[in-house]
Structure formats: structure tokens, C-alpha cells
């Protein structure tokens, strides 16, 4: 590796504050009530107003911080556009609020918009049968299963503002203009379906969302909506496709943690991390295992209760990938759990 990863700012902006990361380009942060306790959002200035990139969760606190930002660092200028990189609630949470209360235009991918609208309409008081079956198939521990099946699950509507009809679509190969710059739209997959990234033609900025994070590896999860999905395969394909565009001069503005330079190095790491995890997993599957029984080899640390769900969906993601590539097989245990095992012939 010739270049390393370099972080031009050691300290992120404080609450209600912004850091200028380029001409007319601001970096701000909003809090999240989770282990990953923040999301980055950005604002780009044009004559007709600001273009906001991602929004944070919808909460009273987040709306209040946005009001402080709009009146302070954003100088009371209107928000003309909201660009959403992907449908996860920390990114899309206040898009509808910006549309409805600020008259902003929403720009995102078609899949992100459809997923967001679908999940908003799908409020569940308790987990649905398909979710329970999915948890069983992953081999969820009995005590975790019993506790969660009676609980109100994570509901999108709790942290995402109502979204009115209407958005503007961006897709692979588009060029869009905001912040006095033209941006190539390049689509990633694996962490979220049809995740948009934006690569400036006029400066070194790249808006990476959660597709291009520096120090954390984005979750590649399988959910009951698509239990046979192969997000790891989608991720690897995206990384291989995006990597040729990466330059050491790029300044990546990511969805979490710090902006960085060294994207070519990071793109290799983002692929290599999963290849090494898949290799460890394949070794572990000399004996049949459930997805949950793969936590120790995949994560090599204790998984806390708060991380259990994310760890489980990502373990299934890696197993589905090995199944897809023909390296493992699976059989149903009596309790519904898939038992995954390495094919003896495929391992040298
Ligand atoms: Zn995300
Ligand atoms: Zn995120």
C-alpha cells in the first residue's frame, strides 16, 4: 500500500456548529441514541438556498438542533434541496420535514425512496410471523427470542418523519448540480440497496454516505424482507466497481466518523475485511453451525445485547454469500434454525 488514510480534522463539529470543508460546503453532526452516537450531515450553498445531504433521525432534539443550524451557520437561507444517500433512518429521518415544513425538493434513488415509504407504512406492535421465522432460522438464542417476540420492535415511523408524495430520482451515471459543482452519481449496494454516492467533477469532494466509511465497516445485513439476499456479494461488487474512480486526492465526506483522504487504500480494506471474515467463517464451518454460533469467528469480541440484532443479520449476510458462491450447504434443524456447513470438496 502506497498511501495511508489521513484525517484532515481531528475534532468533529460541536452540537449546532459547522466546519467548512470546502467552498460553500459545511460539515455538521447530529446525535443518535445508539452505540454509533452520531451521523454526519452536510450543506452546500447555492444562490437559491442550501442543499442538505442527509438529515439525522426525526426527534424533537434533532429538529431543534437543525433550527439552530439553519439560523446560525446556515445564515437563515432556505433549504432548497435535501439529498438522501440511502433509506436508513439516520439519513432520511427528517427528509419529509424538510419537504413539508421547508419546501425543499427531495432527491434520492428510487429504491431508497420506495424503501423509506414502505417502511413508514409498516408499523408493527409486535414482530410479525415472518420476522420470528427469520430469527429462528438464524438460531437466535432462546432467551433473546422470548424477550423480543413480545416487544414492540424497532419501528421506522418512530424516528422518521412522515414523507409526502413526490421525490426526484437520481440513478447510476447521472450528473447533478448543487453547491456550484457538478457531481457524478455512482450507486453502491450491500449496506443499503441503491445507495447513492456523489463524486464532484469540480473539486476533490466525494459524498460517501455509509458506502465509503473510513474507520468502521458498514453493516451488511439480511432481513426478513429478503431472507435469501446476498448483501456481501452486492458489497464486493460495488467496491470493485467504485474503486477505479478513487484517487488519493479525494476528500471523502462520510455518513459517520471523520472526513478522510486515502480512498484507494480504504476501498481495498473495505473488500479485504470481508474476504478475511469469509475465510475465517469457512474454517469455522468444518462443523455445522447456526448463524449466531458464527459470532465468535466473525466478530472476535463479545457481542453486547444492543449489538445482537446487527451482528445476527450480518452473520446471515456472510453465510448467504458463501451459500451463493457454492462453498457451503445448509440443512434445517428441528427448531427451524439453518445449520451451515462447509462443502468438503470445495476446501483444499
Ligand atoms: Zn446506513
Ligand atoms: Zn448511517
Positions of E strands within 221-282: 251-254
**Distance, first Cα to last Cα, the chain:** 29
Rounded mean pLDDT, 189-206: 98
* Cβ-based neighbour number of residue 271 at 10 Å: 16
pLDDT tens, residue by residue, 238-258: 999 999 999 999 999 999 999
Cα of 191 vs centre of ligand 1, distance in Å, is 6
Q: Buried b vs exposed e over 315-344: b needs ≥16 C-beta within 10 Å?
A: bbbbbbbbbeeebbbbeeeeeebbbbebee
Q: Which of 319, 345, 317, 346 is nearest to 330 (CA)?
A: 319
In the predicted model, is pLDDT for residue 348 greater than 70?
A: no
Q: Which ligand is nearest to the CA of 195?
A: 1
pLDDT tens, residue by residue, 58-109: 999 999 999 999 999 999 999 999 999 999 999 999 999 999 999 999 999 9
Q: pTM here?
A: 0.95
Cα of 159 vs centre of ligand 1, distance in Å, is 14
Rounded mean pLDDT, 280-296: 97
Rounded mean pLDDT, 37-51: 97
Contact between 175 and 201 (Cβ < 8 Å)? yes
Show contacts of 322-329: CB within 8 Å, 24+ apart. Answer: 322/278, 322/281, 322/282, 322/285, 324/230, 324/233, 325/233, 327/282, 328/282, 328/285
Cα of 348 vs centre of ligand 1, distance in Å, is 37
Cα of 256 vs centre of ligand 2, distance in Å, is 6
Rounded mean pLDDT, 213-233: 96
Residues with CB under 5 A from ligand 2 (ion): 90, 210, 255
Cα of 260 vs centre of ligand 2, distance in Å, is 16
pLDDT tens, residue by residue, 309-336: 999 999 999 999 999 999 999 999 999 9
Distances (CA, A) of 133 to 139, 169, 306, 337: 10, 35, 21, 9
Residue 132 grid coordinates = 420470528
pLDDT tens, residue by residue, 297-313: 999 999 998 899 999 99
User: Which of the four pLDDT bands, split at 50, 70 and 90, describes residue 5?
Assistant: very high
What does the mean pLDDT of the chain come to? 96
Cell 449496494 sits on residue: 189
pLDDT tens, residue by residue, 251-283: 999 999 999 999 999 999 999 999 999 999 999
Residue 310 φ/ψ, nearest 5 degrees: -65, -40
* Cβ-based neighbour number of residue 27 at 10 Å: 21
Looking at residue 1, what is its pLDDT?
46
Pick one of 3.20.20.10, 3.20.20.70, 3.90.550.10, 3.60.15.10 as the CATH number of 19-125+164-276.
Answer: 3.60.15.10
Amino acid at each position: 500500500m502506497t498511501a495511508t488514510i489521513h484525517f484532515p480534522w481531528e475534532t468533529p463539529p460541536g452540537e449546532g456548529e459547522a466546519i467548512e470543508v470546502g467552498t460553500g460546503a459545511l460539515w455538521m453532526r447530529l446525535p443518535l441514541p445508539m452505540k454509533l452516537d452520531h451521523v454526519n450531515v452536510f450543506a452546500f450553498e447555492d444562490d437559491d438556498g442550501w442543499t442538505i445531504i442527509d438529515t439525522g433521525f426525526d426527534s424533537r432534539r434533532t429538529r431543534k438542533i437543525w433550527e439552530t443550524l439553519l439560523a446560525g451557520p446556515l445564515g437563515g437561507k432556505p433549504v432548497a434541496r435535501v439529498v438522501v444517500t440511502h433509506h436508513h433512518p439516520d439519513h432520511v429521518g427528517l427528509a419529509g420535514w424538510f419537504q413539508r415544513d421547508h419546501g425543499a425538493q427531495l432527491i434520492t434513488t428510487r429504491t431508497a425512496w420506495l424503501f423509506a415509504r414502505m417502511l413508514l407504512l409498516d408499523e408493527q406492535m409486535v414482530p410479525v410471523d415472518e420476522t420470528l421465522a427469520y430469527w429462528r432460522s438464524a438460531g437466535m438464542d432462546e432467551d433473546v427470542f422470548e424477550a423480543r417476540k413480545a416487544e414492540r420492535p424497532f419501528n421506522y415511523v418512530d424516528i422518521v418523519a412522515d414523507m409526502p408524495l413526490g421525490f426526484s430520482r437520481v440513478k447510476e451515471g447521472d450528473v447533478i448540480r448543487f453547491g456550484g459543482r457538478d457531481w457524478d452519481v455512482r450507486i453502491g449496494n450491500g449496506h443499503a440497496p441503491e445507495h447513492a454516492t456523489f463524486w464532484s467533477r469540480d473539486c476533490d469532494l466525494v459524498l460517501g454516505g455509509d458506502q465509503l466509511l473510513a474507520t468502521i465497516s458498514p453493516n451488511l445485513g439480511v432481513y426478513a424482507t429478503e431472507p435469501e439476499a446476498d448483501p456481501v456479494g452486492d458489497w464486493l461488487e460495488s467496491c470493485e466497481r467504485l474503486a477505479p474512480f478513487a484517487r488519493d486526492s479525494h476528500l471523502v465526506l462520510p455518513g459517520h466518523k471523520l472526513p478522510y483522504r486515502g480512498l484507494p487504500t480504504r476501498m481495498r480494506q473495505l473488500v479485504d475485511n470481508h474476504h478475511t471474515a469469509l475465510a475465517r467463517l469457512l474454517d469455522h464451518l468444518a462443523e455445522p453451525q447456526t448463524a449466531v454460533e458464527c459470532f465468535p469467528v466473525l466478530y472476535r469480541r463479545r457481542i453486547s445485547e444492543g449489538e445482537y440484532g446487527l451482528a445476527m443479520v450480518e452473520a446471515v449476510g456472510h453465510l448467504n454469500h458463501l451459500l451463493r458462491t457454492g462453498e457451503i450447504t445448509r440443512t434445517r434443524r428441528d427448531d427451524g434454525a439453518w445449520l451451515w456447513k462447509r462443502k468438503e470438496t470445495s476446501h483444499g
